[in-house]
Homo-oligomer: A and B are copies of this chain.
Amino acid sequence: MSTLSEVAARAGVTSATVSNVLRNRGRVGEQTRQRVLEAVAALAYRPHLAARALAEGRAPTIALMVSSIANPFYPEFALAVERAARTSGHFVIVCNTNQDPLAGRAYLEQIAGTLSEGVLVMNANLDFADLHQTEARGTPVVLCMWERPNDPPGLPCVAVDFRRAGELAAQHLLERGHRRIGAIVGSKRSGIHAARYEGFVDALRAAGVKLPRTCVRYAPDTIEGGYAAARELLDLHRDTTAIFATNDLPALGSIHAAFDLGRNVPDDLSVIGITDIQLARQSRPPLTTVAVPTVEAAEMAVSLLRELIERPPDTRHTARHTAREQPRVCVASEPRLIVRGSTGTPRRKRG
């Protein structure tokens, strides 16, 4: 493989000039530019990304930390991140933490600042202290889908109003006439789905509808987790007419539970989720859900990260420590209700 200096020698210019031509930077006369391009072609020169990045004190990739790439939401998000990142010439390294903060820390220590010049964090269950340390070492960090726009995390983030998503789900079920409702929360009580649940409960309360404690289950954020929780809820409260799940996967699990109990969705049970993953459209019946702006959030996160990367390191490092500048919070569009076949009006009780 030919090198930058070979190209420079052949064109009779400095390596810096070759670099400027290739990146459309600096002032280079047209004749010189032509000579460089001819030398590039003649030598079949391909820029060596890793070498170039190092020479510029940069790393050529961005890292995307996710809790598990096998969760169907993450590939959709990763795809959007990759598309956005490619426009700035970055490649994406997907890092699975498997919900393990130690695995996450190991990734951060190994690649932040060396292989990756920025880190996107998507629900990867990381220790905030580790993220702050990564920042302090000069590698920008962006949280991708922070749940509470009005309660910023102290790190740059893209926020989605998930509280609003919970409200929209509640309002839809109320409008359809449901009053005996169960809820499945796909995180711990104080975990990442708390805002969605709060929005849901507040909207019910505003309508004078109670959600007793026994009608709420905290479950793993999976189809299987939602399945088991829905079975429990429906066993305990046979008159439940609707289930709200804080995410699409447990909502899909609830549909399966109804199927196995011989209950028709939506005639015997309405089910609503949040997110609008591909599977929501593909299930039978298709899932009513509150869509969050996944692609938009991915693009905003990449764009914010790029902005932080391109800042002079001095201002970047100190941003956190000065009172003048708080970490950036970019708020994505509002969630919106998507009505599909899994919700309807409750059957009237006989007699």
Give the distance in Å from the alpha carbon of A114 to the alpha carbon of B72 in the complex: 31
Contacts A115-B49, A259-B284; is A1 near B137 (CB within 8 Å)? yes
Q: Which residue of B lies closest to A91 (CB)?
A: B93
Residues 77-102 of chain A: 1 if any B CB is under 8 Å from the residue's CB, otherwise 0?
01100100000000111111000000
Give the distance in Å from the alpha carbon of A159 to the alpha carbon of B169 in the complex: 47
The reply to whether the CB of A37 lies closer than 8 angstroms to some CB of chain B is no
Task: Pick the interface stretch among A19-27, A51-59, A122-130.
Answer: A51-59
Evaluate contact between B96 and A79: CB separation under 8 angstroms: yes
> A311 — which chain B residues lie within 8 A by C-beta?
none
The reply to whether the CB of A202 lies closer than 8 angstroms to some CB of chain B is no
Taking each of A46, A69, A137, A279, which has the highest tally of chain B beta carbons within 10 Å of its own beta carbon?
Answer: A69
Evaluate contact between A51 and B260: CB separation under 8 angstroms: no
> A284 — which chain B residues lie within 8 A by C-beta?
255-256, 259-260, 284
Give the distance in Å from the alpha carbon of A51 to the alpha carbon of B54 in the complex: 7
> A223 — which chain B residues lie within 8 A by C-beta?
282
Evaluate contact between A79 and B75: CB separation under 8 angstroms: no
Residues 107-122 of chain A: 1 if any B CB is under 8 Å from the residue's CB, otherwise 0?
0011101110000000
Q: Which residue of B lies closest to A112 (CB)?
A: B46
Chain B min CB distance to A152 (Å): 29
Contacts A1-B113, A284-B255; is A82 near B54 (CB within 8 Å)? no
The reply to whether the CB of A346 lies closer than 8 angstroms to some CB of chain B is no
Interface positions, chain A 210-260, Cβ under 8 Å from B, are 223-224, 252, 255-256, 259-260
Evaluate contact between A94 and B92: CB separation under 8 angstroms: yes
Give the distance in Å from the alpha carbon of A282 to the alpha carbon of B260 in the complex: 12
Give the distance in Å from the alpha carbon of A70 to the alpha carbon of B76 in the complex: 5
Chain B min CB distance to A284 (Å): 4
Evaluate contact between B96 and A93: CB separation under 8 angstroms: no
Contacts A1-B137, A82-B94; is A115 near B61 (CB within 8 Å)? yes
Interface positions, chain A 258-288, Cβ under 8 Å from B, are 259-260, 278-279, 282, 284
The 5 closest A-B pairs by CB, nearest first: A259-B284, A69-B75, A49-B114, A75-B75, A223-B282
Known: A50-B50, A51-B54, A255-B284. 12 other contacts (CB 8 A): A46-B110, A49-B110, A50-B53, A50-B59, A50-B115, A54-B54, A61-B93, A61-B115, A69-B78, A70-B79, A79-B96, A91-B93
Please, could you name 20 A-B residue pairs with CB atoms under 8 Å apart, sorted by A? Answer: A1-B113, A1-B137, A49-B110, A49-B111, A49-B115, A50-B54, A50-B114, A54-B54, A61-B115, A69-B79, A70-B76, A70-B278, A72-B72, A79-B96, A82-B96, A91-B95, A93-B93, A223-B282, A256-B284, A260-B284
